[in-house]
Structure 1
Amino acid sequence: MVVQNGFETRLVHAGYDGREAADAATPPIYASAAFDMESAERGDAVAGGNVVGFSYSRVANPTVAVLEQRLASLEGGVGAVAVASGMAAVSFALLCAAEGGGRIISPGNLYGASVDAMSSFFPHFGVHTDFVHDINDLHAVESLIGDDTRAIFAESVANPSTDVTDIEPLARLAHSHGIPLIIDNTVPTPYLLRPIEFGADVVVHSTTKGITGHGNAIGGVIIDAGRFDWANGRFPQFTAREQVISDDRGNEWHSFADRFGAEAFIRRIRIKYLRTFGAVESPFNAYLHLVGLETLTQRVRQEVESATVIARHLRTLPHVVRVNYSGLSDDDQKNLVAKYLPEGVGTILSFLVDGDYANVRRIIDATRLFTYIPNIGDARSLIVDPARITHREVPARFRRDAGVSDNLIRLSIGLEDPVDLIADLDQAIAAGYEG
């Protein structure tokens, strides 16, 4: 296989060798629930993890494997596991780190479903979250670290505020206490930011969003940097012996830490979480993710350029009280953008309008080009009212942390002509205050 160094080259080629798939130019869709293990001896070796191969698509599939290898390459990880949705990726990563009664430290300015999971659902599994108002306030974060803290979690670029996480010092703080930093990198995509390069230990994505870019496939991924020591004493689930990776007939017993070393986390995600909970990425969706990835750079570059133009324009409009887009920030966020996101913070922005929810409703209903859809990263430009849709299930205090109110509107900028998008916003906002 050709050595694949450049980012754009890896977008198209990483993880795939056509010679292994009848010389197909693009990765085939392996629509097979299971695979012939060929012989009893090989089947035993595949099941025991001693031979790389495929047996059952709930655990691994050739099409999905290409996607996993490609995304691991793009983010700089040692391995990846693709799952059925972004929330499956978030849930698996956090529960795998904190299972058995651990705690997570997280800001409250996250995507609504993540906050809901951590605040009201994970506690039923014995996993609790200590929320901090500002994840970049290292003193506040450190004050929450206890003996049962198992991870720090944040979004690289928060949805919908676009606040940027200062990853590097946060990673140093986490590591000084023997805990990992897990980053949701959905908004910027690996084209704009690669958190592992700044010390993050695990990266998750909703591949539904910018990675696929066309709003046509649900998926998620967990990527492991392969640097964290899961055998440091805080994570007994990684040092306990496990039947599924051992050979009791030969009296050979293993833990994930001693069997897989640097890949202990991502192997445990696949063997325990994916295999047991079954949130499997379909090969057809994996194929769509791969097709979308090929144009990631070109799509996101244009969308960021348009988002910046639109954010600047919104600042000039009557009835627009505030525009949230860190790419235009004049405060401390400006330095973080320059450090982590020199090519742009992403394709979403939000803005606050005066009046009340009736005005917001009229603005949304008056749009003609923007589509009212609770998604981001699409080739189409989208509009939504987070308080009623994406953050509806979030308690009021977390909505305040995220800057979400009934007067907030979020945009995801697509590939249309920004002149047309601006004209649509102008007429919709004007319509929102008529009469």
Structure 2
Amino acid sequence: MQLEQDVELAEHADRLGFDEFWFGEHHSGGWQIIADPLLMVARAAATTRRIKLGSGVSTLAYHHPKMLLDSVIQLDHLTRGRLMFGVGAGALALDSSMMGLDPMHARQAMEESLEAMTLLLADAGPVTYTPEHASWRLHEAYLHLAPFSEQLDIRVAVFNSASGPRLAGRFGLGMISFGASAAVAMGRENRMQLAFEKASYMAERHGQVLDRRRWSAMSPMHIAPTEEQARAQAREGVVRYVDYIRQILPMNVPVGSDADDIIDTLHIAGHGVVGTPEMAIAHIEKVQELSGGVGTFLLEHAGWAGHADTRASMELFATEVAPHFTGSTRTRQAAYARELQHDQLTRRTMAAAQAAAEARHTVDVRTDRMQRLQQLRDQPPAHLHDDPHPDPHPDPHPEPPDAAALPAERLHLETVPAEQSSQALPVPVPAADRRSGRHRFSWSSR
């Protein structure tokens, strides 16, 4: 169920306009259960249209670099360039020990694997490489399929260690800063600034250029319309999360089981947000200030809230937080403000236009009726027509014309009082109705 929900969240993020969605790699702990992020990328790519999908991150020490890179390149083609390849040394020591690896050599093994991949991507000829801290080998290896993207988007995981930013700078790669803002609010060192300085130092030494657009900073975040609602939704999950994260990462997290105390500490330390869109905006602005500018802010899905509440939090972020930074609603808001400044101009103009249209219609109807009436008046009565065979003994009181002989769809009968009879056509009057009024036949154009 959790794996399906993760895919569904990627689909939801795609619909909401998020730019990236990342899947991690873990093999122990029971909290984060994705073993192969590339499988998740492949599954999510089939049901998303625009969002970029990444392995966040693939642990290089666990894989043969040639085999892993072949899979990444194939997936880059299948996603038509939507793949991001995040790499790291691994956070769980138990993962390494179960594979018979020394977790203390994970960073050196990661560097050797990344160097081998860089040589393969350079396509300068077959690569032979023997690492010092891993059991794999490359012997005259080469790629038989180039990446779909002009440049494969590779990003290095960065936490407290200097190894991540140094590798990013050496190879000119992007960075993913985990827990970037933690402890900043308490006045401690600015980890993001230090990370970028280390990466810049190595980039300068190796003739590389760092691109801030490929630098992502991540914080856990759950928001709701009110802080009380957000705390209530995350109350149980945040306690379990802290119990887990305290075991695997050297982070300043509180000890205890009171959810409100934990959330208060997370806010004080600047580690994350459980609150409102306004609190999320303030947190991201702080991250931007401390970093000097990152390309992407990542929301860590820490499992604090249930699936439905997490979806709602994402929607609230997309509608209330993201537009503050992207300016996507700025034009609409300005147009709305201008409309309010014109003192109901549209309403008054519409009312005037409707009144003018109604007046024109009334004039048209009256003019049309007058024309029809004039046509009837100009037509001579039937009994005045010249009869080539006149009756020598005419009836002094002839019967009126037979109504059945007239077109039924254009005929209606009107009763006109006697005092208005001067306006009627001079048609013979039925004897039975002389006392009450006159009848006339007319044609209407309806």
- With normalisation by structure 1, the TM-score equals 0.25
Whose relative contact order is higher, 1 or 2, with alpha carbons under 8 Å and at least 6 apart? 1
Rg comparison, structure with higher value: 2
